[in-house]
Amino acid sequence: MGEIEDGEADHITTDVQGQKCALVCECPAPESVSRKDNLPFLNAVLKNPVCKLYRFPTSDNKWMRIREQMSESILSFHIPKELISLQIKEDLCRNQELKELGELSPHWDNLRKNVLIHCDQMVNMYQDILTELSKETGSSFKSSSNKGEKTLEFVPVNLHLQRMHVHSPHLKDALYDVITVGAPAAHFQGFKNGGLRKLLHRFETERRNTGYQFIYYSPENTAKAKEVLSNINQLQPLIATHADLLLNSASQHSPDSLKNSLKMLSEKTEHFVHAFKDQLVRSALLALYTARPGGVLKKPPSPKDGTEENSSQDPPPPMRRQDSIPHHSDYDEEEWDRVWANVGKSLNCIIAMVDKLIERDADSEGSSGGGQDGEKDPSLVDSIITHPKEDWYEQLYPLILTLKDCMGEVVNRAKQSLTFVLLQELAYSLPQCLMLTLRRDVVFSQALAGLVCGFIIKLHTSLHDPGFLEQLHTVGLLVQYEGLLSTYSDEIGMLEDMAVGISDLKKVAFKIIEAKSNDVLPAITGRREHYVVEVKLPARMFEILPLQIKEGQLLHVCPVLFNVGINEQQTLAERFGDVSLQESINQENFELLKEYYTVFMEKMPPDYISHFQEQNDLKGLLENLHQNIQAKKRKNVEIMWLAATICRKLNGIRFTCCKSAKDRTSMSVTLEQCSILRDEHQLHKDFFIRALDCMRSRQTQGALNESDDPETGCLSDNKPTSRHFYPVALLLVSSHLLVVWLILSLALLLAKYQ
Cβ atoms of 419 and 97 within 8 Å: the answer is yes
With CA atoms as reference, report the closest residue to 510 among 560, 473, 561. 473
With CA atoms as reference, report the closest residue to 197 among 562, 501, 569, 565. 501
Cα torsion angle, 713, 716, 722, 726, sign = positive
Catalytic choice (119, 658, 674, 694): 658
Residue 577 contacts by C-beta under 8 Å, 6 or more apart in sequence? 487, 488
Residue 38's region, left for phi above 0, alpha for psi from -120 to 50, else beta, is: left
Residue 507 contacts by C-beta under 8 Å, 6 or more apart in sequence? 529, 530, 531
Report d(CA 284, CA 407) in Å as an integer.
19
Q: Decide: residue 717, CB within 10 A, 0-12 exposed, 13-18 middle, 19+ buried.
A: exposed
* H-run or E-run covering 193: none
Report d(CA 160, CA 101) in Å as an integer.
46
Report d(CA 498, CA 483) in Å as an integer.
9
Residue 371 burial (CB count, 10 A): 7
Q: Is 658 labeled as catalytic in the residue annotation? A: yes
Q: Which neighbouring-strand residues pair with 160?
A: 72, 180
DSSP 180: E
Report d(CA 197, CA 584) in Å as an integer.
12
Tell me the C-alpha to C-alpha distance, in Å, between residue 267 and each of 238, 247, 407, 645.
11, 17, 15, 44
With CA atoms as reference, report the closest residue to 600 among 455, 457, 467. 467
Cβ atoms of 264 and 242 within 8 Å: the answer is yes
The DSSP string of 372-432 is: S--PPPGGG--TT--S-GGGHHHHHHHHHHHHHHHHHHHHHHHHHHHHHHHHHHHHTTHHH
Q: Decide: residue 620, CB within 10 A, 0-12 exposed, 13-18 middle, 19+ buried.
A: exposed
Q: Residues, the chain, total?
A: 754
State the catalytic residues.
Answer: 658
